[in-house]
């Protein structure tokens, strides 16, 4: 999942860079054409150093190309801004997804901590019960031992009486 985000981000970054290069190339082209326009304004091939109709048409054509180039720059800038908006949306989406994952992890940790606490309480109760059971078993064995000792003692006393009699 993270790999697809990384690949998509890389593709978007490459597209963004490509778009920037396009705009920079268009701006350089505009600068070059504006230089041509400036030169065409200074061209005066007419009699007595005046501009001819051809000079003015040439200047107007260069100016028209500059305007067309400006329109292309605006279009490409719009695309670039859309890439930027897309990147902002992706960052917001990634932040939201990360926040949701963190919340889910925190809920899972809380649940596991609660289960751990419950298991500790159960273990303590079992240990307490086990300790009480051990005490009663030891008490029972001691009672049986005393009872067995009493029975043996009485039988031995009875055997002595029979031998002496």
Per domain, the residue ranges of the chain are 2-134
Q: What is the mean pLDDT of residues 145-153?
A: 93
Q: pLDDT digits over 70-99, tens only? A: 999 999 999 989 988 988 999 999 999 999
Cβ within 8 Å of residue 43, ≥6 positions away:
51, 55, 58, 59
pTM > 0.75: yes or no? no
Q: pLDDT digits over 111-122, tens only? A: 999 999 999 999
Separation CA 57–CA 38 (nearest Å): 14
Closest by Cα among 23, 24, 35, 22 to 66: 35
């Amino acid at each position: 999942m993270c790999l697809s985000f990384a690949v998509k981000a890389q593709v978007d970054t490459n597209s963004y860079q490509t778009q920037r290069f396009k705009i920079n190339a268009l701006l350089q082209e505009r600068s070059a054409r504006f230089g041509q326009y400036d030169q065409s304004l200074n061209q005066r091939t007419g009699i007595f150093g005046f501009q001819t109709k051809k000079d003015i048409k040439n200047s107007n054509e260069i100016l028209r190309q500059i305007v067309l180039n400006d329109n292309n720059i605006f279009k490409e800038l719009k695309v670039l801004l859309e890439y930027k908006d897309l990147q902002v949306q992706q960052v917001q989406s990634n932040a939201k997804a990360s926040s949701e994952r963190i919340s889910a992890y925190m809920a899972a940790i809380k649940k596991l901590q609660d289960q751990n606490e419950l298991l500790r309480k159960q273990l303590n109760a079992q240990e307490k019960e086990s300790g009480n059971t051990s005490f009663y078993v030891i008490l029972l064995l001691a009672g049986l031992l005393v009872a067995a000792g009493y029975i043996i003692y009485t039988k031995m006393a009875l055997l002595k009486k029979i031998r002496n009699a």
